[in-house]
Amino acid sequence: MKAPKSIYVCTECDYQSTKWMGKCPSCGAWNTFEEQEISDLDSADKGPGRAAARHALFSTAVDTGADAVVIDDLEMPSYMRTETGLGELDRVLGGGLVLGSVVLLSGEPGIGKSTMLMQVSATLGKSCRVLYVSGEESQGQLKLRAKRLDIHGANLYLCIETNIRNIIKQTDKLKPNVLIVDSIQTIYNDEINSAPGSVTQVKEAAMALIHKAKNEGISVLLVGHVNKEGGIAGPKVLEHMVDAVIYFEGERQQTYRIIRAIKNRYGSTNEIGVFEMTDTGLSEVENPSEMLLSGRPQGISGNCAVCVIEGSRPIVAEIQALVTQTFFPSPRRSSTGIDYNRLQMILAVLEKRLGLRFSANDAYLNVIGGLRLDEPAADLAVALSLISSLKDKVLPDDMVAIGELGLAGEVRAVGGIEQRVRECARLGFSRIVIPKKNAEMKPMHIAGVELFAAGSIYDTISFFA
């Protein structure tokens, strides 16, 4: 049989097939197959860049032939960290940028990635040499942004380039300590016959940069675009290759921005960083609760405040529900900021345990400020906001609800209760609903705060009397 000259590669997951397919059988994405000549793939695989990059990729797991050691005898690694000038970013990175690490910064277009990196390069430029490579903007545009952000410095170099070989050449010439590449999807290798932004190109470019970072101790910050589904465009492998992946959340239309690490080899992934986009760039928000609660409507049904813990910080946010009569055979449910399945579960619990007719109503749920709440501790506030909207009964404005809801309608204990209650009290909330188990385990007395211990969802019904 004649060997095929080309194969088709999925641009999302790198799945390979000899035939073109509309839907990728591996990742399920549509219209992602691209034709690639086999000779390109071979040469890419054999190319010196690829081989070297492979080595770099696995250089933490080298073939040393050394004997195994007892875990207690291993030395504690000491990472050299540099502050980026944005405390909220340092917090998400785990205490600053680790020297020689590769960080991928991702988010929707226009969310503020380039702005953040330009601000970071200004601070880093004070203590080390920074090379900012842009494949997306002209020198004029970069200069305009730099002026807007009031950024200058003899140690900050800008370069408009998309060819990886030229980027490496510039890096060899300037020997920067920090290399910023905005964005990885625009970078290409002219030895590979595949369009910029394709899996092969993105992987190739990232490998070459990671190789550089690891071999020469350069910190690399990469910008990655997101695709329609909200994932990082290009291969998933990009996430595996880098040391940290930081994701921008929040709404472009609103002024606040939230960053979260979805992977971090040098720190926790629980911390979030909160910023506000101003006329002069991103400014840090040290008290996110105050920002999230500002301009809160008073006396409206369907609103309930909640306190979640993000990393080391308690954050008070507001949940809004709208429950209206449905005109569809099956009611509509929509959820922003809370897991959709979690909303379905809470609705089912309320229907079954309290006999509330949610099945005849559409339900819309929203967390104000573009915050995403993953913690089950938000369940009780979700339930109360739904009941409040269904019954059109307003909850007290100074009330917060904290607790996980079980399938039997029981309110389950949550961690860090004292920290949460204190944050709520600091923000002026005087009625705090907490799980009964928490109240029994650790009785608390805080001046001006009334604590309601709820053992089950039935105990909260008095709020709607």
Q: Alpha helix (H) ranges present in 316-432?
A: 340-354, 379-391, 417-426
Cα 402 to Cα 460: distance, rounded to the nearest angstrom: 12
Residue type, 54: R
Q: How many CA atoms lie within 13 A of 22 on its CB side?
A: 0
Number of residues that bind ligand TYD (CB under 6 A): 15
| Residue 112 partner contact from ligand TYD, Mg ion, none using kind-dependent CB cut-offs of 5 to 8 Å | ligand TYD
Burial degree of 422 (CB within 10 A; 0-12, 13-18, 19+): middle
| Residue 148 partner contact from Mg ion, ligand TYD, none using kind-dependent CB cut-offs of 5 to 8 Å | ligand TYD
Residue 119 Cβ vs Mg ion, minimum distance, rounded to whole Å: 13
| Residue 460 partner contact from Mg ion, ligand TYD, none using kind-dependent CB cut-offs of 5 to 8 Å | none
Residue 21 Cβ vs ligand TYD, minimum distance, rounded to whole Å: 32
Cα 410 to Cα 404: distance, rounded to the nearest angstrom: 8
Per-residue DSSP letter, 218: -
User: Smaller CB distance to ligand TYD: residue 115 or 200?
Assistant: 115
When asked if residue 165 is in the footprint of ligand TYD (CB under 6 A), the reply is no
Cα 42 to Cα 38: distance, rounded to the nearest angstrom: 6
Q: Tokens for 354?
A: 């309290």
The beta strand positions in 183-242, using DSSP E, are: 219-225
User: Smaller CB distance to ligand TYD: residue 134 or 389?
Assistant: 134
58-97 mask for Mg ion (x: CB under 5 A)?
Answer: ----------------------------------------
Cα 144 to Cα 75: distance, rounded to the nearest angstrom: 47
Q: Exactly one of 82, 114, 119, 264 binds Mg ion (CB under 5 A); which one?
A: 114
Residue 180 Cβ vs Mg ion, minimum distance, rounded to whole Å: 11
Positions in 394-453 near ligand TYD (CB under 6 A): none
Looking up tokens 């988010």, which residue turns up? 107
Q: Exactly one of 54, 126, 143, 148 binds ligand TYD (CB under 6 A); which one?
A: 148
Q: 303 has which bridge partners? A: 320
User: Smaller CB distance to ligand TYD: residue 81 or 113?
Assistant: 113
Q: What is the DSSP string of 13-28?
A: T--EESS--SB-TTT-
100-129 mask for ligand TYD (x: CB under 6 A)?
Answer: -------x-xxxxxxx--------------
Cα 158 to Cα 133: distance, rounded to the nearest angstrom: 6
User: Smaller CB distance to ligand TYD: residue 282 or 380?
Assistant: 282
Residue whose C-alpha is closest to residue 427's, from 305, 338, 309: 305
Residue whose C-alpha is closest to residue 94's, from 268, 338, 236: 268
User: Smaller CB distance to Mg ion: residue 114 or 301?
Assistant: 114
Positions in 266-295 near ligand TYD (CB under 6 A): 277, 279-281
| Residue 218 partner contact from Mg ion, ligand TYD, none using kind-dependent CB cut-offs of 5 to 8 Å | none
Residue 278 Cβ vs ligand TYD, minimum distance, rounded to whole Å: 6
Query: Peptide bond preceding 294: is omega within 30 degrees of 0, i.e. cis?
Result: no
Residue 130 Cβ vs ligand TYD, minimum distance, rounded to whole Å: 17
Residue type, 82: T
Task: Work out the angle between the directed axes of helices 340-354 and 379-391 (0-180°, nearest 10).
Answer: 60
User: Smaller CB distance to Mg ion: residue 106 or 114?
Assistant: 114
Residues of this chain that interact with ligand TYD (CB under 6 A) are: 107, 109-115, 145, 148-149, 277, 279-281
